Structure 1
Amino acid sequence: MLNKVLFIHSGWRCSSTYIWHRFRVMPGVRAYYEPWHEQLARMTCDDLRAETPKNSGLRHPGGDEPYLKEFEPVLDPRGGVGRFDPSFALDRFWIEPEASDLAQQAYVEGLIDTARGLGETPVLACCRTLGRAGWLKRRFGGFHVVLVRDPVQQWLSFYSLRKRPRPTYFELCHYLLLSEMSGWGDVADRILGVGTPGSGTLAERLANVRRRFKRSPASLSFQAFLAVWLASHLKALPHADLVVDVDRLARDQAYAREVESAIARGCGLKPDFSDCRAPTPHGVAPPIAWRKAARSVVEAMGLHQAIVGPDAHPILFRKLAPAFAALPPSQAGPLARMGETLGGLAGGAALARLQARLKRA
């Protein structure tokens, strides 16, 4: 078992924290949470102990146990996780399998070696690795699991966390990833416009994105998200040893047992997903013409055959077709556009509460 390493790849808001937590509670496992998060570059012991699922506001499991306690052995006394550089977070998200990145390689090796030195099996679960799954597999082998969620519900999970009149961190990251997506520059220009987000550190580029898109309609955020969702899954899926439909995992106990057994065969660890529950669907949504928005992204990227063609991965069609069919077409008239604008001004959570009150009235 100790010669194995498990990588869990996902997008944001895909139940990855739940999956990670099921490995964390297993004896003999060192499950690193978000090992490509930029905050690791400046984290101190106090920071490590302070941030917990209970106080995060992100609806995560885990209670009062710090998210990042597994990093304590690799924490530099001067601050930051040893060998980690904040550029690892998103700058090399789209790295090709054959590319060289010795600094990032040394960082990952350090995490794996630390776990093995403690007699534990390393598990690395992160929302920032879909674009680099092939690079990681080529360098470190191991067993690679890709989590996939209904893209509409995934994006609505971002939107539901809006409490101020600007995009959430998750939305900003998708704007940034789209603008820097290798080989898709024309798509980024068509969706976002030319000239984003500029150069500089990750923090500076995110700030540029925030300034530019803080008043943009929800439909633009969704299109940027979907473009990144498609491109990142197309990069990750060919390297997956196991693809997990997290929506099905929550509602189908037989499927959950199959996933547990497949992971056990692949890396020797058998998690328990019997308590997995589906998040409540986000029934209240901004008035986006979902099908039209999705079609425009797929057409702009030239991905029709990648989704419905004979060589397409079935999970993409399963997730895209039902997701958009399940939501009624939104009205595209002036009132709908005004509602979307209000959502951008008031925040997704505030708009959802208002819509719910109007429905009850």
Structure 2
Amino acid sequence: MPNNKNIAAPIFIHSLYRSGSTYLFNVFRRSEGRYFCYQEPEHEFLLNLNEDPDALLEVHEDMAESLRHPKLTRPYFWEFHQIQETLNGLFRKTFSFDDFFCLPADVLSTEQTSYFGALIEHAKARPVLQFCRSAGRVAAFKAQFGGAHVHLWREPRNQWWSFKVNDFFDPAVLLIYNAKNIPSALAEIRTRCQIGEIHAETIGDELTFFRQHPLTAAENYLAFFGLWLYSYIEFERHADISISVERLSSDEGYRDEIIRKLEMQGIMGLDFSDADIPHASFAGKEINFYHHIEQLVLQIFQEHGYHREALDQAFAAKEALSALTAASEPHGSADDSVRARRTALRLLDQSTEASARAIASMAKAEQIDAESRLVVAELASTRQISSAQHARMLVAEEQSAGIQAQLNHTQAELSGVREVVREQSASLVLANQEMERLHGQVRTVHGELAAARSLAEERHASMLCAEQVASELRDQVRLVQERLQTTERVADAHRAEALAIALDRSALQEHLRLAEQNLTASRQTADERYASILAVTGEKLALQTELDSTRELVERQHAAALAAQRQMDALSQQLEDIHASRSWRLTSPMRAASMQFSKLFARKRNSAN
């Protein structure tokens, strides 16, 4: 009895490429008025829905003939064109291969749910969706949309050979291995076969990549059989009906059985009397090629957690069909087929090797081309660098000439400064001689001479030494003032101090002589420093700094001389105050000294003017 509740429910046909899916699609479509059939809803050609929907009406009869498809009364994608406005913008490039596997397995993405939901909702009769890329999504389709699910399958060795009808199906298998969320068993096969990874802008570019990187015959069958076994297990787990296309083509009783099962799902009006799919048998050494690879795939699936019961069921179904095809093919024809397939396998391996050599040659040529471009670029860069260096050299020569001129000018200024320094030094010596009778001033001048010697030896400390000299001068003036006040109060102390000054005079003169020697040494050191400065005339900044320091030294020495003059004026005033004091008679021994100091001071003023 038909299951009435599923009459309007969608029908999903699940298979791999070259399984007779186009034949089954056409069986549904030719049952006029009952079904609205979508051929391969994940096909990349459906991208034209978004840009050029009329392209879906192209018939491509030559392609259909080469693929041994049944003659169709309407274009493959005619139904899509009928509802093009509804589907506009819903189809995505990723539906074809990148989204082959769902994660979680029973959940479709939002975009896929919208697209497939629109196909079902807007079908003009009971919707039939015929898939070749649904193995990783079958659980999600059933959970999302319910409906009746049909598994159409073919004996894998014949199916693999059928893939060789053109250059699309082998790269398409590799694109499935290139998908996201690939199961671990298939991921190991991908690694064993060294299948590359690419996600280009167009599927055409991705197919071209895998056409340029073919597998050997053994790797090719390993990748195919791994996908076949995965798909068989997934489809059988979720399908309501399982159909062997070989038995549908050769066993009339099997056809009737399938018709009854379909009618129980509410699927009526189908006729399989013209089912006819070619098949070949495999025997002898040829079987070893397939058997070894199939056992390897079995081992990989077991290691990745697949239940032995599901694996045994798949292998038993495969072996049953292999026996059926072996019994149906004449012996002589089988021998010819074996020889032809052996030749094809050798040609496939040779083609793979030739492709690998061609790819290596292309890579080498690209490398040589890249290296050539790099050499040309480096040569151009070297020329630019050479031109820049030449320009910098000319600029450097001009700068060198300018620096030499500045150096000559600076040397002339330095000579003048040296002369000023000598004159100032002579003036300072004269001032020191004039103050030789004053004990405090002699010590101050001695400190100043020591500071001058230090400034000549160490340019960096010139300011600090000058400040120290000024401080010492103030201290000595204060000491002289205190001593003069003490002399005013205590005459005996003045006489004792005058006597001490007289006794120390010879010692002070000796100190003055030593100071003059030190000053001479300072001049020699200054000359040596000047010679050093001339040795580094190439360093303009250092020479300018030396010049500034020397000028500052001269100014400070001049300021020190003026300060000494002011101090001598103060001392003279103090001596005049002493002369006018009531202790004049006690200070008579100092009168002679004061008169002599006045004469020296007058001479100093005259020379300064």
Could you state the TM-score of these two structures normalised by the residue count of structure 1?
Answer: 0.79
Moved more, 45-54 or 248-257: 45-54
Q: Distance in 2 between matches of 1:219 and 1:128?
A: 23
Matched, 1:83 2:90: yes
Aligned length: 328
Asked if 2 retains the 8 angstrom alpha-carbon contact of 1:30 and 1:121, the reply is yes
The one-character-per-residue Cα deviations of 1:208-249 (angstroms, maximum 9, x if unpaired) are: 322322xx3222211111111111222222110011111111
The residue type paired with residue 206 of structure 2 is R
Q: Which has the higher helix share?
A: 2
Q: Distance in 1 between matches of 2:312 and 2:186?
A: 24
Unaligned runs of 5+ in 1: 163-167, 348-361
Could you tell me which residue of structure 2 aligns to residue 157 of structure 1? 162
Shift of 1:336: 9.5
Partners of 2:9 and 2:126 within 8 A in 1: yes
Which residue of 2 is the match for residue 219 of structure 1? 218
Deviation at 1:263, TM superposition (A): 1.1
The 5 Å alignment of 1:1-361 reads 3-26=8-31, 27-43=33-49, 44-53=52-61, 55-56=63-64, 57-63=66-72, 65-76=74-85, 81-95=88-102, 96-115=104-123, 118=124, 120-159=125-164, 161-162=165-166, 168-180=167-179, 181-184=182-185, 186-193=187-194, 196-201=196-201, 203=203, 204-213=205-214, 216-281=215-280, 289-302=289-302, 309-312=308-311, 314-320=313-319, 323=322, 338-342=346-350
Which amino acid in the other structure matches residue 257 of structure 1? D
Distance apart, 1:183 and its partner CA: 2.2
Whether the 8 Å contact between 2:151 and 2:235 is mirrored in structure 1 is yes
The question of whether the paired residues in 1 share the 8 Å contact of 2:185 and 2:304 is answered with no
Residues 42 and 95, structure 2, Cα contact 8 Å, conserved in 1: yes
User: Which residue identity is paired with 1:19?
Assistant: L
Number of the residue aligned with 1:356: none
Q: Relative contact order, CA 8 A, sep 6+: which one is greater?
A: 1
Structure 2: distance between partners of 1:202 and 1:232 = 26
User: Which protein shows a greater Rg?
Assistant: 2
Letter in 1 for 2:70: P
Does the aligned pair in 1 maintain the 2:233–2:311 contact within 8 Å?
Answer: no
Output the amino acid matched with 1:142. G
1:61 is paired with a residue whose SS is coil
Q: Structure 1 pair 302/274, CA: closer, same or farther in 2 (3 Å)? A: same
Cross-structure match for 2:569: none
How far residue 52 of structure 1 moved from its aligned partner, in angstroms, is 4.2
Contact 2:108 2:137 in 1 (8 A): no
Verify the 8 A CA contact 2:281 2:322 in the aligned structure 1: no
| Identity of matched residues, % | 27
SS state of the match for residue 244, structure 1?
Answer: strand
Gaps of 5+ in 2: 1-5, 327-333, 356-609
On the 8 A contact 1:131/1:236 being kept in 2, the answer is no
Distance 1:300 1:202, change over 3 A: farther
Q: CA deviation at 1:317?
A: 1.9
Distance in 2, Cα, partners of 1:186 & 1:87: 19
Task: Give how far 1:277 is off.
Answer: 1.5
Task: Summarize deviations over 1:55-109 as a string: whole Å, max 9, x none.
Answer: 43211112452111111222249xx855111211112211144334111011111
Cα distance in 2 for residues equivalent to 1:305 and 1:101: 26
Cα distance change on mapping 1:53 and 1:189 into 2, 3 Å: same
RMSD over aligned Cα atoms: 3.4
Q: Is the 8 A contact 2:22 2:70 kept in 1?
A: yes
